[in-house]
Structure 1
């Protein structure tokens, strides 16, 4: 019976899928399978032939394999590896090369024989590539093929660098990279313009010949392409869908990457559900959007015709369910984000008392506060709360070099006007110009350049917070140590990061904390900063009464909003408040027009924020609630 139930749940899935709670658990499971294969081959005196991938996804797998080697004696003497791909052209000594990646993450830490490592050569002359690719294929075939191929998946659906349009029988070859693939790699290269346009990749046909294929994907960012790869029709536009034709492929996902699959996203379509309030709210909003009706106009027929008959039968009639969900949504809307004084707060998102709260807004970068919750920030100040803002990092990697020179030139002119000695400043300025003229992509800036970039962002943050109405004494710059590396890849979080955060929390003793709850990218600064905040609060809650009474509200950044069914507090903004928020964002001039790290979205940050807030308001309007100009959304963190 359990097997039949699983088949029913997964009936939309065209390839075996295993889902684990998080990437750590999933990575260990994959590493265990690789280790078991290596040991089995060792026992029979055979070679284990592995196809390996690069990128963020397999890093924890490699970490676990290294741990097994050092702590458990796992030997790689009988292992032969073939990497999927390499950028072209690419020096093996470059920081961005996959040779460097594999050495740093795996090969330098295990006992594999160097002659058993094979990675496509990014230094070849173009006329020699075809011959190299044939030889690469022949080496794999001469060894009897790949025993196990490890894959990640790109947002275009590519496996290896087999971009949309790749043939299912393709072999190792030179390919042109999709623009989205290059944009995703741009941070590693210091800008998309520095990302190679081509790569040498193992073909889909080559991958297919492996006796076992594991495709791994973590985080929400991969959820939409995973749904296409697992549940969509086989199509050249999504090369990973070709894996549906394989009998020896398994997708291994974390819960976030699997979240768009039907069995998780709309489970009522594949099984009987245990209906709690959260699931009912999600299902009714989904139904309202699907049939294009406000919630209060949904009928029993709508429920029955769209896979929700069980809900209508158990909790119906439909109108009772509609009223229940409509009221929950209506109660999430408040013009009093700090709580409405002397009001009945039983149906409100935030407590009425104390009437004037101490509020601490954590901003990962120096502009996240106004971009993500600028309207709420301003309203909290206007309504008399004791608002503090804490900028967790300097954001000094996200400033153009030309801005540095412009600001130093201003300082030189200002000093000159005061009759001050220019010698030292001019000397530093000359060093800066010389360095910048020869600077390589992602090269670490001189300390003086990093300082100026940090000063620029600090002055903008102060201007933005002042515009929101904050007193200078309530503006805090934390400069958390994990960030201050001068590199786009940051250091691991340490005890010092947590202790600095605890110290600030103890100084303010906030009733409310706001923090950036962006979990789409596990390697992003937002998630790292959020985890530091929650760790600090968890520790304080064990010993300090005020911390036990602190509520933590999550906000989202300029790229994505919470789903409507997730929102627990929606703060409506008038046209005038939207304008005030925009002006607060405009104080961050270094991030205006063309920021250093724009992401996929070509719009300016203020445009993204406004359109996102309008879309949230429109989503509520379509469900039959009041039609506001814009809304900022928040979700309460459950300790």
Structure 2
């Protein structure tokens, strides 16, 4: 019976999928399978032929393999490896090369024979690439093919560098990279302009010959493409769908990456559900969108025809369900994000008392505050609350080099205009200019250049906060140490980061903390900054009474928005308030037009913010709520 139930739940899935609680558990499971394969082959006196992948996804697997080697005697002496791909052109000792990646993350820490390691050669002359690719295929064939191939998946659906348009029988070859793939790699190269346009990759046909194929994916950022790969039609537009044709493939996912699959996203379509309030709310909103009706117009027929008959039977009549969910959503709307003084707050997102709250807005980068919650930020100030803002990092990696020269040129001119000696500054300017003109892709800036970039972002943040009405005394620059360690590779969060945050929280003793919950941030800074705040609050909670009355609200907006069913506080903005928010964002001049790290969204940040705020309001309107120009959305986090 359990087997039948599982088959019913997974009936939309066209290949085997294993889901783990998190990427660590999944990585350990994959590493254990690889270790068992190696040991099994060793017992038979045979070599193991592995196909290996690069990128963030397999790092945990490689770390566990290293541990197994060092602590449990797993030997790689008779393991032969073939890597999926390499950028072209690419020198093997470059920081971005996959030779460097494999050495740093696996090969330098195990007893593998480097003569048995094969990685596509990014230094070849282009006329020699075709012959190299044929030889790569020949070596694989002579060894009897791959015993196991590890794969990740790109957001274009590529496997290896087999981009959309790749043929299912393709072999190892030189390919042109998709623009989205290059944008995703831009942070490693210090900008998309430095990312190679081509790569050498094993083909889909080559991958198919492996006796086992494991595709791994972590986090909700991969959920959309995983759903297409697992449940979608086979198409060259999504090369990973070709894996549906293999009898030897398994997708290994964490809960985030699996969250878009039907059995997790809309489980009522494939099984009977335990209808708690969150699932009921999500389902009713989904149904309203699916049939294009406001919630209060949904009928029993709508429920029955869309997999929700069980809910109608168990908790109906459906009109009562509709009214319940309508009221819950309506109660999330408030023009008083700090609470409405003297009002009945039993149905409001925030407490009425104290009437004047101390609020602190934590901004991971110096512009997240106004981009993601600028309207609410301004309203909190306008409504008389004691509002603080804390900029957690300097944001100095996200400033163009030519802006540095422009500002230093300004400083030189200013010094000379007031009769001061600018010779030392001119000398420093010359050194900066020389460095910038000769800088390698993603090379860490000199300390002086980093300082200037930090000053630029700091002054912009002050201008934005002042525009919102925050006094200078309430503007805090934390410059958390973890961020100041490199352009893209940062140190792990340290004790100093947490202690600095605890010190600020003790000073303010806030009733409200607003923190970035936009963990899709491709730079990875938001989740790190959130974890610092969380650790600080959890420690303070053990010893300080005020923390018991401190509520934490998460905001999004720069990269993604909360789903409608997740929203617990929706702050409507008038057309005039939308313009005030835009003006606050415009104070961040270095981030206007084309920011250094735009992610995969070509829109400017102010446009993204306005579009998302408008979409939230439209979504509420379609559900039958009042019509607003825009809305900022928040979710309360219980720590």
Is 2:92–2:122's contact at 8 Å kept on the other side of the alignment? yes
Count of residues in Structure 1 that have an aligned counterpart in Structure 2: 639
Alignment of 1:215-254 (within 5 A): 215-254=215-254
Structure 1 match to 2:596: 596
Is 1:468–1:584's contact at 8 Å kept on the other side of the alignment? yes
Deviations 1:456-511 (A, max 9, x none): 00000000000000011111101111110231221111111111111111111111
Gaps of 5+ in 1: none
Structure 1 match to 2:467: 467
Structure 1 match to 2:509: 509
Structure 1 match to 2:538: 538
Structure 1 match to 2:363: 363
Deviations 1:67-89 (A, max 9, x none): 22222222211211100000111
Is 1:396–1:486's contact at 8 Å kept on the other side of the alignment? no
Is 1:450–1:486's contact at 8 Å kept on the other side of the alignment? no
C-alpha displacement at 1:523, in angstroms?
A: 5.8
Deviations 1:592-619 (A, max 9, x none): 1111111122221111111110000000
Deviates more, 1:157-166 or 1:33-42: 33-42
Structure 1 match to 2:294: 294
Is 2:361–2:513's contact at 8 Å kept on the other side of the alignment? yes
C-alpha displacement at 1:521, in angstroms?
A: 4.9
TM-score normalised according to structure 1 size: 0.99
Partner Cα separation in structure 2 for residue 69 and residue 543 of structure 1: 43
Structure 1 match to 2:481: 481
C-alpha displacement at 1:26, in angstroms?
A: 0.9
Structure 2 match to 1:579: 579
| Counterpart check, 1:36 vs 2:25 | no
Structure 2 match to 1:558: 558
Is 2:460–2:589's contact at 8 Å kept on the other side of the alignment? yes
SS at structure 2 position matched to 1:462: helix
Structure 2 match to 1:609: 609
Partner Cα separation in structure 2 for residue 74 and residue 356 of structure 1: 62
Partner Cα separation in structure 1 for residue 455 and residue 75 of structure 2: 50
Structure 1 match to 2:189: 189
Deviations 1:380-416 (A, max 9, x none): 1111111111000000010011111111111111111
Structure 2 match to 1:12: 12
Deviations 1:66-112 (A, max 9, x none): 12222222221121110000011111111111111111111111111
SS at structure 1 position matched to 2:131: helix
Is 2:518–2:559's contact at 8 Å kept on the other side of the alignment? no
Moved over 4 A (4+): none
Is 1:220–1:521's contact at 8 Å kept on the other side of the alignment? no
SS at structure 2 position matched to 1:250: strand
Deviations 1:505-560 (A, max 9, x none): 11111111000001225761011111111111111112221112211100013221
Partner Cα separation in structure 1 for residue 611 and residue 246 of structure 2: 42
Deviates more, 1:310-319 or 1:594-603: 594-603
Partner Cα separation in structure 2 for residue 440 and residue 55 of structure 1: 21
Structure 2 match to 1:428: 428
Deviates more, 1:620-629 or 1:130-139: 130-139
Alignment of 1:66-465 (within 5 A): 66-465=66-465
SS at structure 1 position matched to 2:162: coil
Deviations 1:100-144 (A, max 9, x none): 111111111111111011000011111211111111111112112
Partner Cα separation in structure 2 for residue 524 and residue 244 of structure 1: 32
Deviates more, 1:237-246 or 1:30-39: 30-39
Structure 1 match to 2:59: 59
Partner Cα separation in structure 1 for residue 488 and residue 478 of structure 2: 18
Deviations 1:300-333 (A, max 9, x none): 0110111111111111111100000000000000
CA RMSD of aligned residues (A): 1.0
Deviates more, 1:39-48 or 1:237-246: 39-48
Partner Cα separation in structure 2 for residue 548 and residue 111 of structure 1: 53
Is 1:405–1:429's contact at 8 Å kept on the other side of the alignment? yes
SS at structure 2 position matched to 1:121: coil
Is 2:522–2:599's contact at 8 Å kept on the other side of the alignment? no
Partner Cα separation in structure 1 for residue 533 and residue 522 of structure 2: 15
Structure 2 match to 1:630: 630
Partner Cα separation in structure 1 for residue 410 and residue 196 of structure 2: 37
Deviations 1:143-189 (A, max 9, x none): 12111100000111110011111111111111111111111111111
Deviates more, 1:486-495 or 1:23-32: 486-495
TM-score normalised according to structure 2 size: 0.99
Partner Cα separation in structure 2 for residue 214 and residue 21 of structure 1: 17
Partner Cα separation in structure 1 for residue 565 and residue 427 of structure 2: 58
Is 2:557–2:608's contact at 8 Å kept on the other side of the alignment? no
